[in-house]
Amino acid sequence: MKMRPEKYLRYLFLPNLLELFGTERTKEILTVNPTIIPIREEAATVIINAYVYNKAEVKEYKNISIEEALSLKCNDHIIWINIDGLRKDDVDQLGDQYGIHPLLREDILSINQRPKVDEIDEILFSLMNILYYNEEKNAIGQEQISLVLGKNFVITFQDDPSRDLFNALRERLKLTTSKTRGKEADYLYYTLIDTIVDHYFIVMDKLRDRIEDVEEEIVRGTNKRSLALINVLRKELIVLKRSIYPVRDVLSGLIKSDSELLTEFNERFYKDVYDHVVQAIDLVENYRDMIMGMQDLYISNVNLKMNEVMKVMAIVTCVLAPATVIGGIFGMNFQVIPLSGQHWGFWIAVGAMLIIPAWMLILFRKRGWF
């Protein structure tokens, strides 16, 4: 009886059910409108970090103001400015100083933009999504990042100051042994993109855990919950697909680019990232195959269970039949009923009630019904 109230809850409190199926997630996923700028709110907090480095030295500027960032000089150093939290003014000021084309600024300030690569006026621009796994909501979160490469500088624009993927990279940059230190700005650019792509696999690992859980649940039994979980997984797959697939084009764009910003030496590194993206896409396809297999498994399992239940019903129905018929016959109130006066009449009737079903069961088993 312990189970009853829980079941009640499940059926009576609808909001839970909607949450289970992740319906509010649908809205999040399908709301994509890259064209309307005004929707974006100006970031409440902006964190700007900058690194000015060359082979010999690294200067670190943490949490500086936009004015300080603008005043940085490169003279044979490479500058990397990272901005967490976007404000139109900041982007415009930086854009003016570093020669970022207005169309690119629009892209930086856009929301839900498709990953893309562009090259205008000596500036190489890439836009990608950083993926996060939101443990709380059990959903994949995405944060748009714009990477701007120019002669001697890299500027990265991110939405959310609370998360940052590049900390390990920063630590490495401070080491004198760092490969990045001795190379051009485009090597830094590569390591940034590489870090983003590598993080996809970590996010997908989390999703894989859930796929396994769902499979286990389906194998154990088919209920509303496992159905909901498949549904939720299919939605996350859409997010994955949308964020990762276009990155292939971004990278093949970078590889094929004849920009002078990309030294030939680094092309090989971009090819390596490209291989990883292709593998990530393969993996998404594998996830899809797996989830589709689970969907089929679910339906087959439900059918199988129904089949089993039906068999029990059919058997019980059949077993009842003789008892009903014979009981009906001898239960009639006629004055003259054959056998009714006999001592052994009752036993004959009861015997028939038992022997006929037994014979039916043997027959059914031979037919392979259970």
**Shortest distance in whole angstroms from residue 187 CB to a second copy:** 13
Q: Are 120 and 99 in contact (CB under 8 A)?
A: no
Structure tokens belonging to residue 335: 């004055």
- Picking from 298, 300, 294, 244, the residue whose alpha carbon sits closest to that of residue 274 is 244
**Shortest distance in whole angstroms from residue 116 CB to a second copy:** 6
Q: Which of residues 182 and 293 has its CB atom nearest to a second copy in the complex?
A: 293
Q: Measured between alpha carbons, how far is 331 from 340 in angstroms, rounded to an integer?
A: 10
C-alpha triplet 255, 132, 284: angle, nearest 5°? 60
Q: Are 145 and 129 in contact (CB under 8 A)?
A: yes
Q: Measured between alpha carbons, how far is 368 from 169 in angstroms, rounded to an integer?
A: 65
In sequence order, what DSSP letters do the residues of 94-136 get, joined into one string? HHHHHT--HHHHHHHH-SSPPPEEEEETTEEEEEEEEEEEETT
**Shortest distance in whole angstroms from residue 201 CB to a second copy:** 4
Q: Which of residues 175 and 306 has its CB atom nearest to a second copy in the complex?
A: 306
**Shortest distance in whole angstroms from residue 70 CB to a second copy:** 26
Q: Which of residues 66 and 318 has its CB atom nearest to a second copy in the complex?
A: 318
Element (H, E) at 155: strand 153-158
Q: Which of residues 103 and 175 has its CB atom nearest to a second copy in the complex?
A: 103
- Picking from 345, 363, 357, 353, the residue whose alpha carbon sits closest to that of residue 325 is 353
Strand partners, 49: 82
- SS3 of 45, please? coil
Q: Which of residues 162 and 324 has its CB atom nearest to a second copy in the complex?
A: 324
Q: Which of residues 64 and 318 has its CB atom nearest to a second copy in the complex?
A: 318
**Shortest distance in whole angstroms from residue 342 CB to a second copy:** 8
**Shortest distance in whole angstroms from residue 57 CB to a second copy:** 25
Q: Which of residues 61 and 269 has its CB atom nearest to a second copy in the complex?
A: 269
**Shortest distance in whole angstroms from residue 55 CB to a second copy:** 18
